Amino acid sequence: MKIVVIGGSGLIGSKLVPNLRSNGHEAIPASPNSGVNTITGEGLAAALQAASVVVDVTNSPSWEDSAVLNFFETSTRNLLSYEASAGVKHHVALSVVGSERMPESGYFRAKIAQENLIKNSSIPYSIVRATQFFEFLKGLADISLVAGKAHLAPVLFQPMAADDVATWVGRIAVGPPVNGIVEIGGPEQFRLDELVRRRLATLNDPREVVADPRARYSGAEVSERTLVPGKDARLGDTRFETWLTQPAAKAAAATH
Ligand SMILES: NC(=O)c1ccc[n+]([C@@H]2O[C@H](COP(=O)([O-])OP(=O)(O)OC[C@H]3O[C@@H](n4cnc5c(N)ncnc54)[C@H](OP(=O)(O)O)[C@@H]3O)[C@@H](O)[C@H]2O)c1
């Protein structure tokens, strides 16, 4: 089966492509680096020729409110339109658990706009909503700084390894379209502030993490269960302490 991975050079895409290939599929990574751009349409028609499935694991280069909305709307519209012309049978997109519960965030409004375009298109689809990646824990501190300290709400948090995200997205991509949402998450629950504090300690990052019940998450108000998936979520295998011993944790330390 020919499966085009849009955003195939990114964190999840670069794990998904070899995963699909090892299961015998023809997986093609596509992104601006390889001459395929979902904003301009460049290279899309050729990349999608004879594709059965398209997996969208792109991310916006800018997370500023209007830029991120413009990215996900334009990119998704273009992609769905080229997919319809190419006869693609299954569109898979990676979204975020709890997006609809965080409307104060420009980033999550953009993810909901992306999901709505997919739901309203003619292409059969599966939307995979993942919890936060372990690889993103330091990034969470970076986007939560107030006067040099990371302010994070002590709410429930169930992040997962990017490898497990790629495994689940791969499984769903080769299965039948669910025409709905599948949630995926990590095998353990933590407190958001606690896990970011632990991650910074492993990185010898001296920044203090403040447990602040009023702290926003990417601009959104969060409460106890905003970030955790429902009871039917499929779970990754990798526990946080195990992930810390893996090369992925060291790679994340270098790039995120
Ligand atoms: N971070 C989290 O904790 C989390 C949790 C749940 C879900 N997600 C979702 O996971 C998805 C993937 O995240 P990620 O961290 O793997 O992303 P990433 O590492 O930032 O990679 C982004 C990818 O998008 C590609 N891209 C950017 N602009 C493009 C364009 N105009 N046309 C085609 N491709 C373009 C990039 O290509 P180039 O390399 O060629 O620039 C790159 O391959 C996102 O949609 C995000 O919402 C993230």
Cα(148) to centroid(ligand 1), Å: 27
Summarize the confidence of residues 93-113 as an average pLDDT: 98
Decide: 165 in ligand 1 pocket, CB within 6 A. Answer: no
CB 215 within 8 A of CB 144: yes
Cα(31) to centroid(ligand 1), Å: 10
Residue 204 has pLDDT above 90, yes or no: yes
Q: What angle do CA 208, 198, 12 make, to 5 degrees?
A: 110
Provide the pLDDT confidence category of residue 247 given band limits of 50, 70 and 90.
Answer: confident
Summarize the confidence of residues 29-45 as an average pLDDT: 98
Decide: 136 in ligand 1 pocket, CB within 6 A. Answer: yes
Q: What is the pLDDT of residues 109-132, one digit of tens each?
A: 999 999 999 999 999 999 999 999
Provide the pLDDT confidence category of residue 170 given band limits of 50, 70 and 90.
Answer: very high
Closest to 197 (Cα-Cα) out of 212, 210, 187, 185: 210
Distance between CA atoms of residues 118 and 55, nearest Å: 12
Distance between CA atoms of residues 178 and 23, nearest Å: 21
Atom of ligand 1 nearest to the CA of 33: 40
If one residue of 55, 58, 195 were mutated to test the ligand 1 pocket, choosing by the most ligand atoms within 8 A of its CB, it would be: 58
Cα(58) to centroid(ligand 1), Å: 3
Summarize the confidence of residues 231-246 as an average pLDDT: 97
**What pairing do the DSSP bridges indicate for beta strands 145-146 and 149-152?**
antiparallel
- Kind plus residue range of the DSSP H or E element containing 56: strand 53-56
Residue 256 has pLDDT above 70, yes or no: no
Residue 250 has pLDDT above 90, yes or no: no
